[in-house]
Amino acid sequence: MSDHPCVVTIDHKSKPRVLFSGTRLVEVDLPVGTKVLYPKKPMKGLPDPRAAVRYALSHPLGSPPLYAKLRPGMKVTIAVDDLSMPLPSMKGPDNRALVIDEVLHQLDEYGVDDVEVIIATAFHRPMTKEEIRHVVGEKCFSRYWPDRLYNHDAEKPGGLTLLGTTPGGIDVEINRRAAESDLVIYVNLTFVPMNGGHKSLGTGLVGYRTLKGHHNPSAVRKSGSYMEPSRSELSRRMIEVGQLIESKVDVFHVETTVNNRMFDKPLEFLAKNEDELTDLESRAMSALIKTLDALPDAARQAVFERVPAPYEMIGVYAGACDPVHDAILEKVHQQLCVPVKGQFDVVIFPVPYISPYNVGAVLNPLLVSVMVEGYLHNLHRGAPLLKPGGTLIAVHPFTDRFDEAQHPAYVEFFHKLLPRTRDAMELHKKYEADFARHPSYIQLYRTGKAYHPAHPFYMWYWGENGRQHRGRVITVGADNEYVPGILGYETARTMAEALRMVREQNSDPSIACFRICPLLMADVTPDAAPPALVDAMGVDLTVPVPASPVSTRSGAEEA
């Protein structure tokens, strides 16, 4: 059976691959036989996204239409995903703005005027005024900002309401306004399979008491991939939380997703196989590499980050949580999944400048590790791309730089706690609770631009299943040795040196290169079935996919 067209095997004639290394692009010669996984071409966007939204609201899955839930005088809260997705943020109008426009139109028509709009930030930094304007759209912004359109505050005294405790023992407390609403409308943008579904409310509008029930090393360790709900303990716990919320609060979900058209025309060649570049594109690529090398850091960051992506809506579904999420996940998989046979001894991860947790800030070393052992490792279905005990090669400069406005607690976590221990369980048990109550960092979360002090812990846990799975991590292109050292990584100056280090232990390793950006996901058919996830008592932890209450599909696909 031949490889999928997005899986390219390096041969003697292959050109060097161009890989992201932070805000730079580097050319790397890969050994013959290396499998390079490229993102799929962008799917065609919906021809009329506004019409698709209207259709989805009127033809929901597993729920009466939105208009049938509305009555004059009712209290409605619209909760909205924050700007951590998509990456980078999309050209206007954002999917969420399109949905909110139509939702507001229906609320007006049915005489609903007690409306508040909350950005479901959880422990993320508050979104700025301009970011909020972009995400919710001008109509919503001009009507509700700032009194009835605001960021969720998980530390506001009296700002959360306890709804109950899940069968698994997680206390569920959510934003008081949402808890006291007759209807919550959740407007989401699912970019990767971990987003959306019960995670939306079960994470976005809750506080520490609830977050610690699923954002912990034990849940991540038990997850084969948190990008694959059926193999994710994290997802199972979030479903538990979400189901409890929905047993107390009426929630109408609107999920959307986009294709992976990350780069506009002038930079579109970045998504292509280097061997298929035209002469003009090859010259443009060389010029871009040289230009980026010549620019200072901040300017390089701006080149990529300040240019919004021309993402297009490829799906919108509304109604009950589970069927809506299932439908949107199908679209996400259709766009992202690249089939690949077998697992590899070595996987190369180029780490770009961006992650969900550094919009408008530098990708600090802790976030680089989250990308390597967390996000990128987990972007698989079926089985990890890396064999158990294999070697990850991370291409990034690993500069010791933090954005002190956004990530003040990260600095202390990275430079004070990690040198003491990298054991996620020890960090969780010994340090997390005190850190999560750190008054200065909480003040910065509430009044400034900062992430919550528990967030760096969650980021470390995010890499926990990757850390348990991999053998070594070797960095290529690090500008220092102590940052990789703190993370427990080895350093190599070049890819050739890194591969030499691998060959000292395995003379003929199989190698894969995960060639982002744009985004992709490895749909792995392992040589052998992946081991079942079992706990210490031998109980199978594989998470059953919740049965969808509706069997027939409607929604925007048929619009």
Partner 1 sequence: MSPTAHRATAYFDVDGTLCSTNLLHPLVLYLVNQGTPAESMFRLGRALLQAPVLAAAELRDRRRFNELLFSHFRGMSEDRIVLLADEVFQDVVKPRLYPGAQELVDTCKAAGLRTVLITGSLDVNVWPLARHMGCDHVIANRLEFAHRKATGKLMQPVVAGPEKAGLIVADARAHGHDLAACHAYSDSFSDVPMLSVVGHPACINPDARLARLAQSYRWPILDIQRPAREGRRRETSA
Alpha carbons 203 and 175: distance in angstroms, whole number: 11
Among 443, 494, 506, 525, indicate the residue that binds partner 1 (CB under 8 A): 443
Among 167, 169, 439, 538, indicate the residue that binds partner 1 (CB under 8 A): 439
What b-and-e string marks burial along 50-83, b requiring 16 or more CB atoms within 10 Å of the CB? eebbbbbbbbbbbbebbeebbeeebbbbbbbbbb
Q: Does 157 bind partner 1 (CB under 8 A)?
A: yes
Q: Does 444 bind partner 1 (CB under 8 A)?
A: yes
Closer Cβ to partner 1, 82 or 233, answer by number: 82
Q: What minimum distance in Å lies between the beta carbon of 367 and partner 1? A: 16
Q: What minimum distance in Å lies between the beta carbon of 402 and partner 1? A: 8
Closer Cβ to partner 1, 207 or 555, answer by number: 207
Closer Cβ to partner 1, 87 or 117, answer by number: 117
Q: Does 217 bind partner 1 (CB under 8 A)?
A: no
Q: Are 26 and 19 in contact (CB under 8 A)?
A: yes
Among 5, 32, 48, 129, indicate the residue that binds partner 1 (CB under 8 A): 129
Q: Are 263 and 39 in contact (CB under 8 A)?
A: no
Closer Cβ to partner 1, 32 or 433, answer by number: 433
Alpha helical stretches, state H, 70-156: 95-109, 129-136, 138-144
Alpha carbons 89 and 305: distance in angstroms, whole number: 8
Among 21, 151, 369, 406, indicate the residue that binds partner 1 (CB under 8 A): 151
Q: What minimum distance in Å lies between the beta carbon of 125 and partner 1? A: 8
Q: Are 436 and 454 in contact (CB under 8 A)?
A: yes
Q: Does 279 bind partner 1 (CB under 8 A)?
A: no
Among 333, 430, 446, 553, indicate the residue that binds partner 1 (CB under 8 A): 446
Q: Does 448 bind partner 1 (CB under 8 A)?
A: yes
Q: Does 421 bind partner 1 (CB under 8 A)?
A: no
Among 150, 191, 344, 461, indicate the residue that binds partner 1 (CB under 8 A): 150
Alpha carbons 131 and 435: distance in angstroms, whole number: 28
- The CB density around residue 553, as the number of other CB atoms within 10 Å, is 14
Q: Are 381 and 353 in contact (CB under 8 A)?
A: no
Among 278, 291, 440, 494, indicate the residue that binds partner 1 (CB under 8 A): 440
Closer Cβ to partner 1, 106 or 175, answer by number: 175
Residue whose tokens read 């698994």: 168
3-class secondary structure, 545: coil
Q: What minimum distance in Å lies between the beta carbon of 14 and partner 1? A: 44
Q: Does 420 bind partner 1 (CB under 8 A)?
A: no
Closer Cβ to partner 1, 24 or 452, answer by number: 452
> Per CB under 8 A, which of residues 355..414 are in contact with partner 1?
402, 404, 408, 411-412
Alpha carbons 417 and 162: distance in angstroms, whole number: 32
Per the DSSP assignment, residues forming a β-bridge with 346 are 391, 511
Q: Does 149 bind partner 1 (CB under 8 A)?
A: yes
Q: Which of 55, 62, 64, 140 is nearest to 313 (CA)?
A: 55
Among 146, 167, 538, 544, indicate the residue that binds partner 1 (CB under 8 A): 146
Sheet of 473-476: strand order equals 7-9, 35-37, 511-514, 344-350, 386-395, 473-476, 490-492
Q: Are 258 and 191 in contact (CB under 8 A)?
A: yes
Closer Cβ to partner 1, 159 or 308, answer by number: 159
Among 79-87, 129-137, 339-347, 522-530, which window interacts with partner 1 (CB under 8 A)? 129-137
Closer Cβ to partner 1, 155 or 281, answer by number: 155
Q: How many residues bind partner 1 (CB under 8 A)?
A: 37
Q: What minimum distance in Å lies between the beta carbon of 455 and partner 1? A: 15
Alpha carbons 377 and 436: distance in angstroms, whole number: 27
Alpha carbons 184 and 78: distance in angstroms, whole number: 6
- Output the CA angle 223-408-428, nearest 5 degrees: 35
For binding to partner 1 (CB under 8 A), which residues are involved?
A: 126-131, 145-147, 149-153, 155-157, 159, 402, 404, 408, 411-412, 415, 434, 437-444, 446-449
